[in-house]
Homo-oligomer: A and B are copies of this chain.
């Protein structure tokens, strides 16, 4: 379970490992800096015609977060949400800035994990806080800025926010595709006689879909909220692109719900197959038992040691010339009758079905 958002959470292990990166750009400018000393930050932000993106990787250093918050005039409750890392995706409007929480997806040892990305959007800067997992899905955005993509360079901080949001949403496609492929594989082997691992695999996939669902439904609500918001900081062109983001989240939800249904269907299919196979196994057992039990019984009867000399009523068959032949014939008759009965009931005749 993810940690509960407590009011007094541990301060984290090592403030030294928090990395802060500042990217500043304009139509023709581009600077990328690692910030070691946070006191230098104000001097870097002085150029009002540039867009600044301050990315903080790790949120366990509360003091650091509060200093950055103070620098940009951010509300303490929002900073608490930054620090307490399991938050649902949401959008909150503050005076002069927007606060967004979204969750980025990644695959870690076959399971889908999500990482919180907290974003503040101010007039000409975006401040992002990542939970601190290694790697992120924002490389594409950085490359776009570095490669001087004209639309990106000319647009304001709200467009940067859109790009980050879009990259976060895009991060769900690849894990979802992997789940889809795993389902395809399962579907192919569902009919195989001993698809034993399938039950566990299906359970694992469902768990991942559950995680995904918890992350993506609130995301859709958050984006819808953003679209309806009339906060001055969002420009018309950006709103237009946000509509595209919304389309993508709806598509992700669609797809994951489809996968969930498919999981259920495969599970049912698997149950039916197990039951069918149990039925088949039972039928083999019953056929064999039903044929051999009467035969063995007959043989046992003639294995009894009644003294044929003591009385003419004591197993006289044993001395008959054709006694043995008759008994064998009786046994053969019983077998054939049984076989025909089973064939009529449809129990045999398609032995190749039995697997």
Q: Which of A's residues lie within 8 Å of B, judged by CB?
A: 1, 4-6, 77, 86-88, 90, 92, 170, 173-174, 176-177, 180-181, 184, 190-191, 193-194, 196, 199-200, 203, 206-207, 210, 214, 218, 240-241, 243-244, 247-248, 250-251, 254-255, 258, 261-262, 265-279, 281-286, 288-290, 292-297, 299-308, 310-311, 313-315, 317-325, 327-328, 345-347, 350, 353-355
Chain B residue nearest to A254 (CB atoms) is B214
Additional A-B contacts beyond A270-B272, A297-B299, A311-B323 (18; CB < 8 A): A1-B176, A1-B184, A88-B247, A88-B250, A88-B254, A199-B272, A203-B269, A210-B258, A214-B254, A271-B271, A275-B278, A281-B347, A288-B290, A289-B289, A299-B300, A299-B301, A311-B322, A345-B354
Q: How far is the CA of A299 from the CA of B294 in the complex (A)?
A: 12
Minimum CB–CB distance from A301 to chain B (whole Å) comes to 5
Supply 21 A–B pairs (Cβ within 8 Å), ascending by A. Answer: A88-B254, A193-B346, A196-B276, A196-B353, A199-B272, A207-B262, A267-B272, A271-B272, A281-B282, A284-B286, A286-B288, A289-B289, A293-B296, A302-B305, A303-B305, A305-B318, A306-B317, A306-B327, A307-B318, A310-B320, A311-B322
- The reply to whether B297 and A5 form a contact with Cβ atoms under 8 Å apart is no
How many whole Å from A167's CB to the nearest CB in chain B?
10
Tell whether, in the assembled complex, residue B293 and residue A180 are in contact, meaning their CB atoms are under 8 Å apart: no
CB-nearest residue of chain B to A260:
B261
Q: Are A304 and B290 in contact (CB under 8 A)?
A: no
Q: Which residues of B contact A355 (CB under 8 A)?
A: 345-346
Is B289 within 8 A of A285, CB to CB?
yes
Known: A274-B276, A345-B354. A203 touches B265 (CB 8 A): yes
Is there contact, CB below 8 Å, between A313 and B300?
Answer: no
Docked Cα-Cα span, A36 to B4, in Å, equals: 39
Contact B284 A290, beta carbon cutoff 8 Å: yes
Please give the distance in Å from A353's CB to the nearest CB on chain B.
6
* The residue from B173, B294, B311 contacting A4, defined by CB atoms under 8 A apart: B173
